Amino acid sequence: MSNNSYFSNLGGLPPQTNLLSSKAVFTTSYAVIPGSVMSDIVTSLLPHWEKSRAWIISRPLSGFAETFSQYIMDVQPGGGSARPEPDARAQAAIFVVEGEMVIELDGKPHALRPGSFAYIPAGSAWQVWNSSGAAVRFHWVRKIYQVVDGIEKPPAIFSHEDEVEFAAMPDTDGKWGTTRFVDHNDIRHDMHFNIVTLQPGAVIPFMETHIMEHGLYVLEGKAVYRLNQDWVEVEAGDYMWLRAFCPQACYAGGPGRFRYLLYKDVNRHPALSL
Ligand SMILES: NC(=O)N[C@H](N)C(=O)O
């Protein structure tokens, strides 16, 4: 598998001979949705989307306590949408895992391929089309932009993982590092999108617990991931949803590197209540 080709095996339906041994799990602090259970029958169609379907792998569940939704979009040739986003308050982060597509933003086309990232500010006029001859799959994270008085909205970003600097975590010899699609020093942004890479045998060596919610989609390799009190085996195609404060760590146990797409909310005060 090349760096830029995240082969996904979503779709179809397991045969009747399949044993019910999936590692799907849903708890109050995290969920694991294995790629193997993302079958055809759990997709949704979306309003104003053509020749397209979505695996909705994360959504706010309890009103205000969770803030983002994440989809894997499957768009067939000729498909897409002239009105993709129904909520003018929602910003979008997009990461392509398979195929080629075009996003039109304010009338200007941007070509995307596997490894491409797009950030689309809230309230933008955008469209997305698959004008290639093959299916396209991409991640789409939606979150209402948290406006702050005196701080302007960030502009759009179109980039590719090959163009973004890999930042090694301190004291890890580059064995654990992050590719950051959004500038971490830019206070205008209220969400980040990274690719985390661990070399074989590398670890997240402590139980991180923090206010950020996460969506983690495994792009490559395998590992055992610590989620709250459990160790869970994950591999390419699996998805993890983590609520705020869910303790997390990781051991990259496969023969190759382990990489995942990481969403997190950042840079804003938590809402208070009386
Ligand atoms: N699970 C993770 O990869 N967490 C990251 N270190 C993070 O929160 O940035």
* Tens digits of residue pLDDT in 151-203: 999 999 999 999 999 999 999 999 999 999 999 999 999 999 999 999 999 99
Length, in residues, of the chain: 274
Query: Does domain 25-265 match CATH 3.40.50.620?
Result: no
> What pLDDT sits at residue 56?
97
Per-residue pLDDT of the chain (274 residues; tens, 9 = 90+): 344 456 566 888 877 877 776 789 999 999 999 998 888 889 999 999 999 999 999 999 876 678 999 999 999 999 999 999 999 999 999 999 999 999 999 999 999 999 999 999 999 999 999 989 999 999 999 999 999 999 999 999 999 999 999 999 999 999 999 999 999 999 999 999 999 999 999 999 999 999 999 999 999 999 999 999 999 999 999 999 999 999 999 999 999 999 999 999 999 999 888 8
Candidates 193, 198, 227, 264: which one to mutate for ligand 1, based on the most atoms within 8 Å of Cβ?
264
> What pLDDT sits at residue 4?
43
Report which protein residue has its CA nearest ligand 1's atom 9: 264
3-state helix, strand, coil split of the chain in percent (to 5) is: 5, 45, 50
Look-up of token digits 């998805």? 239
- Can you give the three-state secondary structure of 143-212, one letter per residue? EECCCECCECCCCCEEEEHHHCCEEECCCCCCCEEEEECCCCCCCCCCEEEEEEEECCCCEEEEEECCCC
> What pLDDT sits at residue 274?
81
Quick check: 214 and 189 in contact, CB under 8 A?
A: no
> What pLDDT sits at residue 195?
98
CA 274 to ligand 1 center in whole angstroms? 31
CA 60 to ligand 1 center in whole angstroms? 20
Q: In a 10 Å sphere around its CB, with 0-12 CB exposed, 13-18 middle and 19+ buried, how is residue 11 labelled?
A: middle
Pocket around ligand 1 at a 6 A CB cut-off: 196, 208, 212, 214, 248, 262, 264
The ipTM estimated for the assembled molecules is 0.98
138 forms bridges with which residues in the sheet?
Answer: 73, 96
Q: How far apart are CA 260 and CA 192, in angstroms?
A: 14
CA 266 to ligand 1 center in whole angstroms? 12
Q: How far apart are CA 83 and CA 103, in angstroms?
A: 12
Q: How far apart are CA 37 and CA 23, in angstroms?
A: 9
Q: In a 10 Å sphere around its CB, with 0-12 CB exposed, 13-18 middle and 19+ buried, how is residue 132 labelled?
A: middle
CA 210 to ligand 1 center in whole angstroms? 9
60-93 CB burial, b ≥16 within 10 A, e <16: eeeeeebbbbbbbbbbeeebbbeebbeeeebbbb
Look-up of token digits 């959504």? 59
Element (H, E) at 260: strand 258-265
End-to-end CA distance of the chain: 52
DSSP 269: P
